[in-house]
Homo-oligomer: A and B are copies of this chain.
Amino acid sequence: MTQPFSYKLLAQDGAARLGEIATPRGVIRTPAFMPVGTTASVKAVFLDDVKAAGSDIILGNTYHLMLRPGAERIAKLGGLHSFMRWDGPILTDSGGFQVMSLAQLRKLTEKGVTFRSHIDGAMYELTPERSIEVQNLLGSDIQMQFDECTPFPATFDEAESSMRLSLRWAERSLAAFAQYGRPGRALFGIVQGSTFPELRRESAAKLTSMDFHGYSVGGLAVGEGQRAMFDTLDFTTPLLPTNKPRYLMGVGTPADIVGAVERGIDMFDCVMPTRSGRHGQAFTWAGKLNIKNAAHIEDLRPLDETSTCPASRDYSRAYIHHLFRSGEYLAPMILSWANIGFYQELMAAIRKSIAEGTFADVAARVRAVYPSTVEDDAGADAEAARSLKSK
């Protein structure tokens, strides 16, 4: 019998939750960080190393994969897991966010979105029904409803009509998902409503009345700043059921993650560890460092001597610095791997601390070297307010 999809809350420390998501392809320990495998590859890192770093689940992007190599082709080749050689669970987004940020000639209607591929100019249509079909062709274990990620800033009226469109698409997504009847696969609803408590409340109330396996908080990490994101989580996560997992999409920095766990979030994904790695930024327990900086040119210390990740532990900073200066492939390879290693160590430390009731200590340790950007966001908030007023 197939293991059904289920979430078990194991411990709490304040609002922070330690849990386990069971899937037919294995257990996901939460809070979990999901490395992003955009186009069927976690950029510059072998999946064996992604796995060994402690990743229980990775993410694939529906938009990228449906354009190339194509969802029907991946299905024909045996599904995304076998295609990219990952036997653990895979979560896919709905494609909606990237259509709006990457595709050309977008046209959004009640039915869905038509757009032109940024790769070859071909025209595509993405609807709730097609998004769910694509995610099932890929063989995704945790699928997302098709939604509109409300841009930030948005007026109340804009945010309201966008959120209600996403609610109607949620119903259609759920109906489409029901047709596939693959036991163990899960579909998450996505709470929208921008930074407006009343709209988040309406979105959460409607979505939790539908039969989703978990809930995402969408429309954040889109420029609103950490303060507004935390404020939104403060009034949004209490609206979500305690017996289902909660996923904050596209987040974030170590400080973002700690702050969101503190507010009851269970799942995260972000390109930050790999993208930063390609650009010479290393995450360590002593803070972030720019390995391209001349200060590292003769520094024989590893990135992080306390790390269990070979990439963080075995190469000197001087060597990695040299590799970046020389434009060697090995530079992003080592640093992307090391950053995945750090993110998973962070999640492991968070999980352990929740079990032990010492989450505040880990949070303080992270904040000491990854200062919250809440204060830096004053400017962003003011900017957003100005932008709204001028609408």
- Residues of chain A whose beta carbon lies under 8 Å from any beta carbon of chain B: 39-41, 43-44, 46, 64, 68-69, 73, 76-78, 83-85, 297-298, 300, 314-316, 318-319, 322-323, 325-326, 328-330, 332-333
User: How far apart are the CA atoms of A303 and B73 in the complex, in Å?
Assistant: 19
**Minimum C-beta distance from A262 to chain B (A):** 34
Give the docked Cα–Cα distance between A78 and B319 (Å). 11
Q: Closest Cβ of chain B: how far from A355's Cβ, in Å?
A: 34
A68 to B69, CA, bound (A): 40
Closest 4 CB pairs of A and B: A44-B329, A39-B326, A41-B328, A41-B330
Among A39, A43, A297, A322, the most chain B Cβ lie within 10 Å of the Cβ of A322
Q: Give chain B residues whose Cβ lies under 8 Å from the Cβ of A322.
A: 39-40, 68-69, 83
Given A40-B322, A84-B319, A85-B315, list of 20 further CB < 8 A pairs?
Answer: A40-B319, A40-B323, A41-B329, A41-B330, A44-B330, A44-B333, A64-B326, A68-B322, A68-B325, A68-B326, A69-B322, A69-B325, A77-B298, A77-B300, A77-B316, A83-B318, A83-B322, A329-B332, A329-B333, A333-B333
Which residues does chain B contribute within 8 Å of A315, judged by CB atoms? 85
- Can you spell out 19 A-B residue pairs with CB atoms less than 8 angstroms apart? A39-B326, A40-B323, A41-B330, A43-B328, A43-B329, A43-B330, A44-B329, A46-B330, A68-B325, A68-B326, A69-B297, A77-B298, A77-B316, A77-B318, A83-B318, A83-B322, A85-B314, A85-B319, A329-B333
